[in-house]
Structure 1
């Protein structure tokens, strides 16, 4: 990757995102490749962020408090930029409360009674336009900064969770599934990237409500309480819905973790599942869990729909409560009506969207932080007593009950004896029961983080009988492996290590078992989307279980699990409501433009070029944005693949003391993902920044107070809603990438054709001779001639021209490339 231009960019270039212009042009003209993505900024490097947070967390642990606080550790790391961006956000939001005042003065200046003040009206209109400009000049960098800060928090948490995973004791690991860890790091921690933008509204919104209520009081006196009461009722309604969602969410999390744990175990043991023909059984087990999960998803989706719809149906509710009583008691005054209406619009957004969203964000974030605190406080693996005065392994007065597995795990320190001591000198090398290799080249696996020594490397290759495999490769040392392993490569790792003695885990087990319209108009839409999500999951699971191993061997487990975790969570929880919001917001914006155009038809002609420019600019952005989003998804999968591989080989990693090496590999995968995600955030903000500039020009004046009120009021609504609409459209487009990736898995080739039940009867043959003739053979025989096997289509043959015979009553037992015969 080339160095990011943002490192040397000027302040203005960073502020207006000019430094992204080269990648935008390149993405529009041609297909982007991973090499086109800039490096992540140095301050976003995973090792730097992890070191900062780990230092503060260790400080919390050493403070002597009863319970260390991860929130305090995060605050000490990131509180300064968080407060700075919050201040900018507050100033930008404060301009919304000044705009209605200027609107009222403008309307009053166009009243025939105040004809001498007409000139002041134009200056006030210019000031109102400046407020729009100031608002987006403050909000855009503030929101980008908060999203960037959320990304940094996620990276730091990813790193310390991974490091803690490498330290967990075997007792703790037995209670944690791979699926749970993947879910924690994908679906949960991923929320920091987007949700941090709502964090400051928990204090900005109440201040805004108090200020707006006081200003409305000056306009309509006691009738202001009618508007406040109406909006407060909406807030209470949303709080009730949020309370009802709590238990459903907790139940859904349990079911999701259960489904992902089972899915992860199946994906890690697909060879065994297919060997025993358990595809249908496993599919049924997951399908039953998914059925219960979808029921809860429907309930949560319904409550979320009503929660979200409060914003859209509240407009007429608030207007009637505020304006009608005042009009009946005091008469109609255009200045007061339109000013009050503008304040009500501000209150509507604040009470029904920003405040509930920020409260929900803090609630979810605190629950997640407590969950991570609990994880970071779990029991760790303890190093064995190290004594250089002895020359062998010594077990002294040890009391334990074990088989060969427990004995070896106790020697490694993975299990703690009930009493007695275990001491050793030097270093231990270990070969796992399950032949395990990490994704990478043959050389990477053999060296396992050590410096390359040509003589020792070639000696290891020869000792482990890997010369033939070396000669089969075009670039043997650099050939990549992922999910395939063999005893030769496994033993090569331990032979390479210059250890004092070796433990070879020679296993005898042959197999292992697996674990098993109007207010309601959008409701059918949401339920239909959830039903589609259910069908997509069902078809994708069936496609993966039915796919041939030649296809699955080319995929890392993390990539497969990413479809079942991140992508399905997106389709389940976020896509239905976001798509509905996008439709609603589009209708609102288009409706406002049409009303303004009806009042003054020439405005429609003035707005048409702006709309065309926006459509062209959106297309220009999406050509690059979609490619960056795809690259970001591809860069995310190795993170979870590395986590899964590390968990599977954890005993081996700890036996060779290679935790630091694997942490470094994990940081590299994080940095690769950070580079694409940061670039996507920057290009997205480039587009939103310029969208605001375009629609700031959608501002004009007429010569009648009633019409000027309608035009400016609706123009303010457009400017307030349009960015939300644009951001939602981009989010929906990005989430549809998840649907596209799921469909790619659904289209995987099937290893067997569909069963034709009409022809099943032809396979049943009644052999009468077998009953009458006593000389009928009582045993069979398997004869294999010139067998050639490839893991992948077009790949190298792992078996060539193999011939053998299996006689009757012989059994062939196979487990991870260890072949044994029993008579």
Structure 2
């Protein structure tokens, strides 16, 4: 038995013709589904965006305001928006339905509701444009333009539904619908390309690159605000909403040092070094103190939390290929369309989770890397101030500076990439297991080619680093001799040594170019391997699968391609890391 409120709202009995004329999973509910889930939702989003911009124009005193030099363009937009406001009200009052076929009359409740929402949305647009003619602001205007694009996409879906059955419409209803659609498209185009000429309103100061601290719309200047991440709510931390004020400030004027938040206590060097000293004091009580263990005690908690996020992030990467396989199989088997919509929505959620988790992983690991850098620099500086004269002979200032710069930077880079050493095998194993389920033994051949590519690329990258280092040595020689020549130019000119030094510089430059040529050849070889191996692996794997008698369906082929891509990501990252070991 059907759900009675849904039957009353959609009235499927009045739209039986749609089930016969249109190939859709919703049958007689197709007009109701399209109008409610596509058209109404797009207009509700558009209405919310316009209302928020109206609120900013009317109530927000922190935004900079302008006046239009010419209002003709706005009047044209008002004219189009006014027509789009009146048209759904006209259909509602006259009972003109865009879904009536074969002389069917009357408006179903869903269509009446949609017409009211549409008229309200366009009325808000009319009010917004009217307010903009008096006080124009930049804030949120692109969000409103996104809203009109969303509305046009929804109307395009509706038009795609109506056109196949246009012969069953009355000419009046069809021409009214088509004319309104083109009017909306014209309004959308005009709004998207609308960049008005503006004058600053009286009482508001233009935002300069160096703004004063007492401007009302400056969110950060003149205040010593603490880094807001720890105090942000769960949603703000999940979507990095806490950084919005800084981005708004950067949109208005170049960010200066006074605009940036003060570090929270957990990121300050004083807090980090105190925690490290406690861990190091415990470590010195052991027979063999180990710096890495002390760093793990002071910074490891957040570092390993990044590893947990990395595991979840990698796991979510496989939702795309898995649900893609189910989606293509549902199409292949002729399952109801809502199966496909469900799988597509789950794929979208998977991609969203991957993007968020990857951003959080990078944020966590980079923060740990900078904390490690601050801790080690402070520890080295603290230790260097307490060296006696005998020990100081073994640690000259140049060596200490080299430790603070080069060595600490290297450890920071290792910290930011260390999780790849264990996550890469995890990703490789997962990809190979899923590939084996799709292609069987043939997948092992393709996977083996990718795995064997790792040592080959490691050798090429390692050789390229050595060649680059040699080239830099010759560059240093050339620069040194040029500095010597320039420093003693009077002597060189007095003894007429120009030709001699010129030949020496040219000889060193030729050697430098020879090493540069080798490095470029190795780089080209590495690029060739990176770009050719996916094609070779795909051809070999699919060819072997077909040769062994397998049925290469679209679901199997596209799922395997996605999995090979995921398998290649960690394999491409390993050579660069292994060459640094």
TM-score (norm 1): 0.37
1:352 paired residue number: 572
| Alignment partners' CA distance in 2, 1:59 and 1:292 | 53
Change (3 A) 1:334 1:183: same
Q: How does 1:512-551 map to 2 (within 5 A)?
A: none
| Alignment partners' CA distance in 1, 2:281 and 2:508 | 39
Identify which of 191, 208, 211 aligns with 2:430: 211
1:2 paired residue number: 224
| Alignment partners' CA distance in 2, 1:287 and 1:86 | 52
2:343 paired residue number: 124
2:314 paired residue number: 93
The question of whether the paired residues in 1 share the 8 Å contact of 2:227 and 2:262 is answered with no
Identify which of 511, 523, 544 aligns with 1:325: 544
The question of whether the paired residues in 2 share the 8 Å contact of 1:102 and 1:124 is answered with yes
The question of whether the paired residues in 1 share the 8 Å contact of 2:538 and 2:561 is answered with yes
Change (3 A) 1:252 1:178: farther
Which protein has the bigger strand share? 1
Change (3 A) 1:294 1:227: same
1:103 paired residue number: 324
The question of whether the paired residues in 1 share the 8 Å contact of 2:458 and 2:578 is answered with no
> What is the deviation of 1:331?
4.6
Task: Look up the SS of the partner of 2:318 in the other structure.
Answer: helix
2:246 paired residue number: 23
Change (3 A) 1:104 1:59: same
The question of whether the paired residues in 2 share the 8 Å contact of 1:209 and 1:350 is answered with yes
Change (3 A) 1:59 1:158: same
Q: Does 1:334 align with 2:561?
A: no
1:736 paired residue number: none
The question of whether the paired residues in 1 share the 8 Å contact of 2:323 and 2:347 is answered with yes
Change (3 A) 1:344 1:276: closer
Work out the number of aligned pairs and report it.
348
| Alignment partners' CA distance in 2, 1:278 and 1:246 | 39
| Alignment partners' CA distance in 2, 1:169 and 1:294 | 47
Task: Look up the SS of the partner of 1:190 in the other structure.
Answer: helix
Q: Does 1:77 align with 2:291?
A: no
Change (3 A) 1:160 1:255: farther
Change (3 A) 1:44 1:79: same
1:646 paired residue number: none
> What is the deviation of 1:296?
6.4
The question of whether the paired residues in 1 share the 8 Å contact of 2:458 and 2:576 is answered with no
**Which structure has more RCO (C-alpha within 8 Å, separation ≥ 6)?**
1
| Alignment partners' CA distance in 1, 2:435 and 2:287 | 52
| Alignment partners' CA distance in 2, 1:80 and 1:48 | 15
Q: How does 1:133-282 map to 2 (within 5 A)?
A: 133-170=352-389, 173=392, 178-191=397-410, 196-244=415-463
The question of whether the paired residues in 2 share the 8 Å contact of 1:202 and 1:359 is answered with no
Listed one character per residue, the Cα deviations across residues 111-136 of structure 1 (whole Å, up to 9, x for unaligned) are 2xx11344312211111111111222
The question of whether the paired residues in 1 share the 8 Å contact of 2:467 and 2:518 is answered with yes
Change (3 A) 1:279 1:32: farther
Listed one character per residue, the Cα deviations across residues 440-460 of structure 1 (whole Å, up to 9, x for unaligned) are xxxxxxxxxxxxxxxxxxxxx
| Alignment partners' CA distance in 1, 2:474 and 2:372 | 27
Q: Does 1:38 align with 2:38?
A: no
Change (3 A) 1:274 1:238: closer
Task: Look up the SS of the partner of 1:140 in the other structure.
Answer: helix
| Alignment partners' CA distance in 1, 2:250 and 2:264 | 20
1:590 paired residue number: none
The question of whether the paired residues in 1 share the 8 Å contact of 2:227 and 2:263 is answered with no
Change (3 A) 1:181 1:142: same
> What is the deviation of 1:88?
1.0
| Alignment partners' CA distance in 2, 1:162 and 1:211 | 45
Task: Look up the SS of the partner of 2:263 in the other structure.
Answer: coil
| Alignment partners' CA distance in 2, 1:312 and 1:205 | 20
The question of whether the paired residues in 2 share the 8 Å contact of 1:256 and 1:293 is answered with yes
The question of whether the paired residues in 2 share the 8 Å contact of 1:95 and 1:131 is answered with yes
> What is the deviation of 1:99?
2.0
| Alignment partners' CA distance in 2, 1:125 and 1:133 | 12
Listed one character per residue, the Cα deviations across residues 539-564 of structure 1 (whole Å, up to 9, x for unaligned) are xxxxxxxxxxxxxxxxxxxxxxxxxx
Q: How does 1:297-308 map to 2 (within 5 A)?
A: 303=522, 306-307=525-526
> What is the deviation of 1:308?
5.8
| Alignment partners' CA distance in 2, 1:255 and 1:232 | 36
| Alignment partners' CA distance in 2, 1:87 and 1:358 | 21
Listed one character per residue, the Cα deviations across residues 41-78 of structure 1 (whole Å, up to 9, x for unaligned) are 2111112212222333344344222xx32212211222
The question of whether the paired residues in 1 share the 8 Å contact of 2:431 and 2:563 is answered with yes
> What is the deviation of 1:194?
5.5
Which protein has the bigger helix share? 2
> What is the deviation of 1:356?
3.3
Change (3 A) 1:170 1:139: same
Q: How does 1:364-443 map to 2 (within 5 A)?
A: none
> What is the deviation of 1:152?
0.2
> What is the deviation of 1:310?
3.9
> What is the deviation of 1:145?
0.6
1:741 paired residue number: none
| Alignment partners' CA distance in 2, 1:76 and 1:252 | 41
2:276 paired residue number: 53
Change (3 A) 1:275 1:242: closer
5+ residue gaps, structure 2: 1-222
Task: Look up the SS of the partner of 1:185 in the other structure.
Answer: helix
| Alignment partners' CA distance in 1, 2:476 and 2:387 | 20
> What is the deviation of 1:322?
1.2
TM-score (norm 2): 0.51
Change (3 A) 1:79 1:37: same
Change (3 A) 1:275 1:225: closer
Change (3 A) 1:99 1:30: closer
| Alignment partners' CA distance in 2, 1:103 and 1:216 | 14
> What is the deviation of 1:9?
2.9
